[in-house]
Structure 1
Amino acid sequence: MSSETTAIGIDLGTTNSAAAQKVGELPDVADGDGDGTMRSVVTFEPGDDKVIVGDEAVSYLETDPDVTVTSIKREMGTDYTFAVDDDSYTLQEYTPEMVSGLILKKAVQKAEASFGTEPDSAVITVPADFPEPARRATETAAKYADIDVLRLLPEPSAACAAYGLRDRDDPIETVAVYDLGGGTFDISIVEIIHEADLYEVQGNDGKQKLGGDDFDERLAEHVKSEFEAETGFDLSDDHVANIRVKQAAKEAKHKLSTGDETEIRIPFIVEDETLEQTITRETFEDLTSDLVDKTLEVCQGLLDDLDDTEKDDIDTVLLVGGSSKMPQVQDAVEDFFGQEPSKEVNPDEAVAQGAAKQAAIISRRRGLEGEERDPDELPGEEGGIFPVAPDSIGIRLADGSFSRIIEKNESLPVRHTEDNYSTTRDNQTRARIEVYQGDSDVAEENDKIEEFVLDNIREAKAGVPNIAVEFELDENGVLRTKAWDKSIGDEASTEGGVEISAGEGEGSESEDDEIARIRRQLPSV
């Protein structure tokens, strides 16, 4: 192993992941296994506390689906756990952060094998509309993989960097980034401010659970339905058969991107039956047209929200994500925006390449030793990219309404303090502050992401204390909150759950100990 260290960019994707490093003027994508991307699949092979990660794990989706995890990115920030019934493993349950940490470890290994240096820090990309708990979970996953996170970079910003739009002579100023990956969809409008040499995200929207996986599922359901009509066999409750059909559907989808039809053949799918079907591109597109329409509805919604931006204002459209290579998607995007989208960069690798460019800029400025800053000073943008808040964030009031403190699409980092909150009962000394994220004026129609207790309110009649609440959303989209009774001045802040900031040393000692303990207990890759 080389003693030299370096910063890399990592695209932690739902279906595929990739790592890249800026070598010379352009970033190279790690190809340690002979391929620029690797599947985001983890198999807990019985017997030796060791996991198989990447392309080698894909075959286990058919042979050992019960010990294989895929599309874990869709569960980031949730309470999902994956159970392993094998005493050879130190841990028996794995959170999405743990599984993602194993994928990140494999990405780092690929980078080291490809570039000959040991990565010790990284820019990791996330969907532009990734909710705060999912961003926080991504930071935790990086800690499990022993990676110093230089930045959680929105994927559309990474795409713009990969295309090098800021460095061109032609006057590209407004960019639409259409990002359809394996599990998520994002649309972002990015402004290129050439005189200031930066990208500024004007707005973004998306769906965390809409991507290539849904196209696969739609085709798989059609195949199973046709098979039942032909043979009378219902495969719905056959777990292994479902996995095999889903894999065949994914392969058929890829082939239909370049051909008009393809064959699906699965021997002995049930008893002595072999599943054989011909799938045409027309059939596939009919089955999935509504999924494409949903992405365009999100695009239109974002343009409607941005009063100053129309379709005619967009100078170029970038395609990002492997699912954007489907012909029906490219045709729909061209029809919607009225221009042919740019295809200069491989959509599978663009995000990782952009992250690598950003990693090189940040590591050069920070010197890779980290930097000290006043705790009251918000960190500034680095590398000419300004991310934005993916959703409004606020608190629930006593009447159930949602009081916004940070507005959707505000440039990050941002810190706001709102006061004139108060008590609802005489002599009330404690208040539970519930934090929500979303667009509804009704708190419970949004996503609850945290709660904490302010327990030193001065005794007074209801409505008299003046309670202030402060939210800080850093450049990674990770939230820190605090509240206090202004007449006393003492603060109550969230502990552990929300206030996690990788690489800045602000976690509590017990939190760091827990991270280190889990890191030691994770299986080897």
Structure 2
Amino acid sequence: MTSIGIDLGTTNSAASTLIGDREEILDIEGDRTIRSVVSFEPGDDEVIVGNMAADLMERHPDLTVSSIKRHMVDDDHTVTIDDDSYEMTEYAPEEISALILKKVLAGAEGSLGEAPDGAVITVPADFPENARAATRRAGELAGVNVLRLLPEPSAACVAYGLRDRDEDIERVAVYDLGGGTFDISLVDVSHEDGFYDVVATEGEQELGGDDFDEALAQWIAEQIEDETGVDVTDDRGAFLQLKGKAKDIKEQLSSRNTATFRDSGTISGENVDIEISREQFEEITADLVERTVEFSETALESQDMSPDDVDTVLLVGGSTKIPAVKEAVEEFFGQTPSQEVNPDEAVAIGAGVFADSIDPKKALEGDDDDEDRGGLPSDVRVSNVVPDDLGIELASGKIDTIIESNSNLPTMERKEREYTTVEDNQTRALIKLYQGEGDTVDDGDLELKTEFVLENIREAPKNEPEITVQVKLDEDGVLSAHAWDESVVDGDLIDPDDADEVADGEAHIDMNPSGESEKLSVEEIRALLPRIA
């Protein structure tokens, strides 16, 4: 049986597995990585994925999708394909991601001579719960058994084999700047137990190489307009061509001091030559680099640490090849960062190592035997953290935190007998869980993660029922939640899988299985208040 690791990246994707005694990047139609781009051919029902799709982006910008990973956090985002030849016209981010995964899986099958039994898919350490759940759905839609969602910094540490080294490395900073996202994660390394424990993570879902390309393209567009009077940003196709050239220039400036933008008229309609120096590029993108440093400071402060407390820094992601980025990281941490593993492939390699150690059958069956750890590897252990506080909205509008940020996953917490009703004889309540920062929904940076109806609260004067709320985040950070009236059930922890699913994805909790239940609108029910003594 063969399992693979997949780095489902914003800009590029890759897969790896153990071949013989070496971890190898799998060939996908002649390439070690493929662009995470999907193109819907006009007038046809053919969908093109990968490097060829990226080449079509300039020709068919309205039918080509890139950087979809940035939208995995947005439950309402859809991609509209305006072409009658396709049965579907709107696609959710996980459906686009599933097409990319299918391409990767087909390449893996071609390389291995057989379809993989399962896959470990990597996600940013600060990916919120809904984005993790969407990633798992993408894998299922692609037809692969998703064995685990692995935090990218943990994958990087596995790829570097830090726990097997003789050096005294106990605290690692993983600086991951890819094509679309940025994460800085602090990881504890336990050499005795072989454990990688993510203790803190900070980052931004829309900060990466794409933004460097965009900034440079905007600067070049200004020079073109000054020289020709043509504003190329008004033409999406022309600007995408310009952005592609800006990406090439960015990569040239990683090894050269100057590069030249040339347009023979395909972009602006004029012949234009613009020379760009590395110094100019660094000035144009300085604010982007500074933001990554600020996130690094925040991560350290959350652990009451300074840069001197970090034993080693790993650079991950293709955008760490930018000289100014490496220099900023070295200056901030006071040490030369490590790039022993190709930053474009480190996450995929680590995922492959992890996948090779998992027993797919046991992992999918959810075997929780402590001896074999439910099919998880005995020689490679990882842990991730909750990126943001998770709490319940009270009737007052305030948020009562149930799970705090940087709590280790998996975690199950409950507020026992701490909530009650707000109306006499109230028999049902809407429970809304939010994740993010802020004391109230109105003035905080909060996102609704789930809402469900608790029914069959015993009829009693307000403030008397004793209601418990239980929240669980599994090892992948996927959320499940339950609530019950302590006088109706015995108060034991409930298996989250016992919840029935109803329309619109709301979890419907019925504490009286013999009674009828109905889905209620937000206007028809009340939220909970803290228990009043």
The TM-score with structure 2 as length reference comes to 0.88
Tell me if structure 1 keeps the 8 A contact 2:359–2:376: no
From 113, 116, 119, the equivalent of 2:113 is 116
Report the equivalent of 1:471. 471
Structure 1: distance between partners of 2:450 and 2:382: 28
**1:282-431 paired onto structure 2 within 5 Å:** 282-307=279-304, 309-363=305-359, 366=361, 370-373=365-368, 382=377, 383-419=380-416, 420-431=418-429
86-95 vs 166-175, which deviates more? 86-95
Deviation at 1:396, TM superposition (A): 0.8
In the alignment, does 2:240 pair up with 1:243? yes
Report the equivalent of 1:265. 262
From the superposition, tell whether residues 441 and 25 of structure 1 become closer, same or farther in structure 2 (CA, over 3 Å). farther
**1:12-27 paired onto structure 2 within 5 Å:** 12-27=8-23
Report the equivalent of 2:170. 173
Tell me if structure 1 keeps the 8 A contact 2:224–2:268: no
Structure 1: distance between partners of 2:345 and 2:276: 28
Structure 2: distance between partners of 1:24 and 1:486: 56
Where 1:196 maps in the other structure, the secondary structure is coil
Deviation at 1:493, TM superposition (A): 4.6
Letter in 1 for 2:118: S
Tell me if structure 2 keeps the 8 A contact 1:136–1:498: no
Identity rate of aligned residues, in percent?
52
From the superposition, tell whether residues 349 and 434 of structure 1 become closer, same or farther in structure 2 (CA, over 3 Å). same
Structure 2: distance between partners of 1:297 and 1:373: 40
Structure 1: distance between partners of 2:336 and 2:65: 37
Deviation at 1:89, TM superposition (A): 1.8
Tell me if structure 1 keeps the 8 A contact 2:362–2:374: no
Letter in 1 for 2:255: T
Letter in 2 for 1:437: Q
Tell me if structure 1 keeps the 8 A contact 2:5–2:355: yes
Where 1:277 maps in the other structure, the secondary structure is strand
Structure 1: distance between partners of 2:390 and 2:268: 54
Unaligned runs of 5+ in 1: 500-525
1:173-226 CA-partner distances (Å, limit 9, x unpaired):
111000001111001111111111111111111111111111111111101111
Report the equivalent of 1:481. 481
Deviation at 1:274, TM superposition (A): 3.1
1:355-411 CA-partner distances (Å, limit 9, x unpaired):
0011011137x567634459xxx9696431111112221111112211111111111
From the superposition, tell whether residues 274 and 432 of structure 1 become closer, same or farther in structure 2 (CA, over 3 Å). farther
237-246 vs 94-103, which deviates more? 237-246
25-34 vs 176-185, which deviates more? 25-34
Structure 2: distance between partners of 1:348 and 1:498: 39
Structure 1: distance between partners of 2:366 and 2:420: 38
Letter in 2 for 1:128: A
From 23, 38, 55, the equivalent of 2:34 is 38
Aligned pair count reads 490
Unaligned runs of 5+ in 2: 508-533
From 253, 256, 263, the equivalent of 1:256 is 253
Deviation at 1:9, TM superposition (A): 0.3
Tell me if structure 1 keeps the 8 A contact 2:216–2:284: yes
Report the equivalent of 1:228. 225
Structure 2: distance between partners of 1:266 and 1:462: 73
From the superposition, tell whether residues 380 and 394 of structure 1 become closer, same or farther in structure 2 (CA, over 3 Å). farther
Where 1:434 maps in the other structure, the secondary structure is strand
Structure 2: distance between partners of 1:83 and 1:441: 36
Structure 2: distance between partners of 1:380 and 1:428: 45
Deviation at 1:270, TM superposition (A): 5.2
Tell me if structure 1 keeps the 8 A contact 2:163–2:191: yes
Structure 2: distance between partners of 1:294 and 1:480: 33
Where 1:347 maps in the other structure, the secondary structure is coil
Relative contact order: is structure 1 or structure 2 higher (C-alpha 8 Å, sep ≥ 6)?
A: 1
Superposition RMSD in Å: 2.0
Tell me if structure 1 keeps the 8 A contact 2:83–2:89: yes
Structure 2: distance between partners of 1:424 and 1:279: 65
Structure 2: distance between partners of 1:44 and 1:332: 40
Report the equivalent of 1:441. 439
From the superposition, tell whether residues 224 and 35 of structure 1 become closer, same or farther in structure 2 (CA, over 3 Å). same
In the alignment, does 2:10 pair up with 1:11? no
Structure 2: distance between partners of 1:119 and 1:262: 43
482-491 vs 244-253, which deviates more? 482-491
Structure 2: distance between partners of 1:251 and 1:223: 13
In the alignment, does 2:490 pair up with 1:495? no
Letter in 2 for 1:433: I
Letter in 1 for 2:452: F
Structure 1: distance between partners of 2:329 and 2:464: 55
Tell me if structure 1 keeps the 8 A contact 2:213–2:243: yes
Where 1:426 maps in the other structure, the secondary structure is coil
